[in-house]
Structure 1
Amino acid sequence: MIYFYKIFAKLKTSFVKNIILFVLTISIVACSNNKADLTVIGNVKGLKKGTIYLKKIQDTAMVTLDSVLISGTPEFVLETNLEEPEVLYLVLDKNDTDEGRIRFFANKGITEINTTLKNFAFDANIVGSREQTLLQEHNDMALKYNNKKLDIIKENFDALKDNDSIKAMETNLQQESLLKSKYLYTINFALNHKTSRVSPY
């Protein structure tokens, strides 16, 4: 640093000094702009060896934004830059054919994802952006509708097996009612959060 200062002091023209100051300023700004504005931290319980990727879908293809090699410790830190809130994927490669994938809504700041090796996607606990909270709310309700649908299908199957036409008709009506309720929920959710990036999803 002292060496460069001496060289700078020897420059006699203010024009050259201004040029150098301008270049240094641009370099500092460029370095600042390259700093990651999204950090994804977390833990995969039970993971001893593998690679965790941070990816996004771009032009129908999966693009890797960052990756970390896991060897011994299950904690990870991934970073990238975001232009706007968007859906990203945490992908686990365990060096076998079973690839795990967690979808989440990312925004600038810190997102924490904790899960397990055994049930990588299902056990995921995600704490992060406001968009992720809304997406999780929608996903939880969608899961409830799906579970209710499976229950009704089972009841309908049992009714048909027992030749109970009245019960079978009731379950058919329940399925229609459930489908209408699901559509109404989806529409209301989109209207209530129409300014959110989550709405199209």
Structure 2
Amino acid sequence: MKKIVFALAALAIISCKEEKKATGNLHIKGNVEGLTQGTLYIQKMGDSTLVPVDTINIKGNSNFESHLQIDSPEMLYLFLDRGETNSIDNNLMFFAEPGNMTINTTLASFFANAKITGSKNQKLFEDYKKIMSRFTSNQLALTEQKLRALQFNREAPSDIEKKNDENIKKKYLFAINFALNNKDHEVAPYIALADIYDANIKYLDTINKSMTPKVAQSKYGKMLTKYIADRKKIGE
């Protein structure tokens, strides 16, 4: 009889743990191919640093799973602690939103090989980054031309500063238009805050006023509204 009671108690404890684990409106599952030992941390941005919201220990099985509660779509970070193996390729940002998400990647190329599904904001953010990388490449190429001219004591092309300015303007205009075209997704205020926070206030105000009510009430929507109000107070 005691054995039966003990078994039932054990099952109850296991059941409670599983029920606790399954709470939340965001379910993340995935795999880090090649990872047999290490720790995964899901983090979010706090006041000034990243803070962990879940810890997943990997021991032999490279699959992982997490259940979280988020108030609205937001950028989260999947950080890999490789243990004895050090690498700078250990942090993966992803735009989380309520529902089911999947993150599959590899130990060898944790960031580059990541495939993330289940979030419309993530898909839009990936499209955005793909185009933005072209502007970054152009800027790096122009900077390299200037450095080479200095290195070999040559005069840099006379139009290099003009090209650089044009590239920056195009980058800002693209970010602004992308945010306006995706005003019904939380990626819009996020881009405004992360990439073009120093843009002319009228452009940020336009993005802010274009947001749908749902996006305006999201984490980044509220942050953008407050940021614009603060800038206006100091006359920027």
1:156·1:172 contact (CA, 8 Å) conserved in 2?
no
2:41·2:53 contact (CA, 8 Å) conserved in 1?
yes
The match for 1:148 is 138
Report the AA paired with residue 124 of structure 2.
Answer: L
2:36·2:59 contact (CA, 8 Å) conserved in 1?
yes
C-alpha distance in structure 2 between counterparts of 1:54 and 1:154, whole Å: 37
The match for 1:5 is none
C-alpha distance in structure 1 between counterparts of 2:147 and 2:45, whole Å: 40
How far apart are 1:162 and its partner, in Å? Answer: 7.0
| 5+ long unaligned stretches in structure 1 | 1-30
The structure with the greater share of residues assigned to strand is 1
The match for 1:114 is 104
Give the TM-score normalised by the residue count of structure 2.
0.63
Q: Which of 56, 72, 77 is the equivalent residue of 1:68? A: 56
Q: Trace 1:186-201 onto structure 2 (pairs within 5 A).
A: 186-201=175-190
Report the AA paired with residue 145 of structure 2.
Answer: E
1:89·1:101 contact (CA, 8 Å) conserved in 2?
yes
C-alpha distance in structure 1 between counterparts of 2:182 and 2:65, whole Å: 31
Report the AA paired with residue 137 of structure 2.
Answer: N
The match for 1:136 is 126
C-alpha distance in structure 1 between counterparts of 2:175 and 2:109, whole Å: 28
Report the AA paired with residue 116 of structure 2.
Answer: I
The number of residues matched between the two structures is 168
Stretch of structure 1 that moved more, 146-155 or 178-187: 146-155
C-alpha distance in structure 1 between counterparts of 2:174 and 2:91, whole Å: 27
The match for 2:160 is 171
Q: Which of 65, 71, 81 is the equivalent residue of 2:69? A: 81
1:40·1:78 contact (CA, 8 Å) conserved in 2?
yes
Stretch of structure 1 that moved more, 44-53 or 118-127: 118-127
How far apart are 1:164 and its partner, in Å? Answer: 5.3
- Describe the superposition over 1:92-141 as per-residue Cα deviations: whole angstroms up to 9, x where unpaired: 11124547211111111111112222332233221121111111122222
User: Percent identity at matched positions?
Assistant: 33
Match of 1:121, SS state, is coil
How far apart are 1:170 and its partner, in Å? Answer: 2.9
Q: Which of 170, 191, 199 is the equivalent residue of 1:181? A: 170
How far apart are 1:80 and its partner, in Å? Answer: 0.8
Q: Which of 30, 35, 40 is the equivalent residue of 1:42? A: 30
Report the AA paired with residue 81 of structure 2.
Answer: D
C-alpha distance in structure 2 between counterparts of 1:76 and 1:147, whole Å: 35
How far apart are 1:52 and its partner, in Å? Answer: 0.9
Report the AA paired with residue 127 of structure 2.
Answer: E
Stretch of structure 1 that moved more, 177-186 or 150-159: 150-159
2:23·2:67 contact (CA, 8 Å) conserved in 1?
no
Stretch of structure 1 that moved more, 113-122 or 129-138: 113-122
Match of 2:188, SS state, is coil
Match of 1:89, SS state, is strand
